[in-house]
Homo-oligomer: A and B are copies of this chain.
Amino acid sequence: MKFTVQDIATALGARVEGNGALRIDRAAEPDDADAGALALAMDPKYGEGLTRGAARAAILWEGADWQAMGLEAAIFVPRPRYAMSGLTRLMDPGPDIAPGIHPMTVIDPSARIGEGAAIGPFVAIGAGAVIGPRARIASHVSIAEGAQIGADALLMQGARIGARVRIGDRFIAQPGAAIGGDGFSFVTPEKSGVEQIRETLGARAAQEAQSWTRIHSLGAVRIGDDVEIGANSTIDRGTIRDTTVGNGTKIDNLVQIGHNSQVGDHCLMCGLVGVAGSVRIGNRVVLGGQVGVSDNIFIGDDVIAGGATKIFTNAPAGRVLLGSPAVKMETQMEINKAVRRLPRLFAQVAELQKAVFKRAGD
């Protein structure tokens, strides 16, 4: 894989100075760059690294003096972080899956595989499954009966697509992602302790023996276009209706989405997020790592929750949340400050008590 500096600049819609014909074969951080690498130094703080590395070409911050840095060519981009997407897409070799269908696969004769598929070894595809054109399916993937996946899917090793799950175009599943496990839904013949506590906010009758009966999941999972699901993440099927994930939503590793939940478009969910059952999440919602969302609540459009925020109640559109229980970000920051000052506050109150009542605070 070889590119000229000009190739890359053209792909990024960016400006070249110097020798655009210079050939490079990989991208590198400035320190690690050898003569064949394009150094990535989009911020002045990376400038010094260039002097330690051996790059002859770099992507630079606007205004950088590339000639003084000893470079032969430079690319200038207006929004460096966005340029990374174009650059890395261009240079990603993609997974090595041979075209066609590996002989060591088990594909039901009734399954329909689109043209241009590349399917690796030990893949199992069930009856009636439909997979769009140009799918790349790595080893050990399972696609159960009746599942439908759109065009240009990329399913990495061991991804699991459950029965009757429907997925749009350009879907990406990282290794071990499990779409369509059964929902976690159990019921007791009589009211359970949890139901009592929800009604009474804490009190309950004497505990009695209780055992859990399973509510089966008749629904499936329905996923829009341009969705990516991270490694070992799990999305459960709905009880009656489908669990849904909207277009353009990106889900990180080890995220759990519970049964019946409805996630909107263009959301981001970072690692270890847990969304309980029957949650409605709007569009463009961003949940930081380890965020938790209680069941049966509503998260409005454009909500952003910082890492480890635990959301127990509805959140209106546009709210920025932090803390456990989640409150507005600025409120949580005030709370944090106040909490750190608590020991001093206790001392002050003791001093007041002594002055006012002539006794020490007990």
> Which A residues lie at the B interface, using CB under 8 A?
26-29, 32, 40, 79, 81-82, 84-85, 88-89, 91-92, 95-96, 102, 104, 106, 120-122, 124, 126-127, 138-140, 142, 144-145, 156-158, 160, 162-163, 172, 174-176, 178, 180-182, 184-190, 193-194, 197, 201-202, 204, 207, 209-218, 226, 228, 230-234, 236, 239-241, 248, 250, 252-254, 256, 258, 266, 268, 270-272, 274, 276, 284, 286, 289-290, 292, 294, 301-302, 304, 307-308, 310, 312, 317-318, 320, 324-325, 327-331, 333-336, 338-343, 345-346, 348-349, 352-353, 355-357, 361
- Beyond A234-B231, A268-B186, A339-B342, whether A218 also contacts B181 by CB under 8 A is no
Are B120 and A140 in touch, CB under 8 angstroms?
no
- The closest CB in chain B to the CB of A162 belongs to B175
- The closest CB in chain B to the CB of A336 belongs to B325
- CA of A304 to CA of B325, assembled, Å: 18
- Beyond A88-B217, A160-B157, A270-B276, whether A334 also contacts B343 by CB under 8 A is yes
Question: Among the listed B89, B158, B207, B228, which residue makes an inter-chain contact with A318, where contact means beta carbons less than 8 Å apart?
Answer: B207
Interface residues of chain A: helix, strand, loop or mixed (majority): loop
Question: Among the listed B122, B162, B189, which residue makes an inter-chain contact with A122, where contact means beta carbons less than 8 Å apart?
Answer: B122
- The closest CB in chain B to the CB of A357 belongs to B355
Give chain B nearest CB distance to A320 CB in angstroms. 6
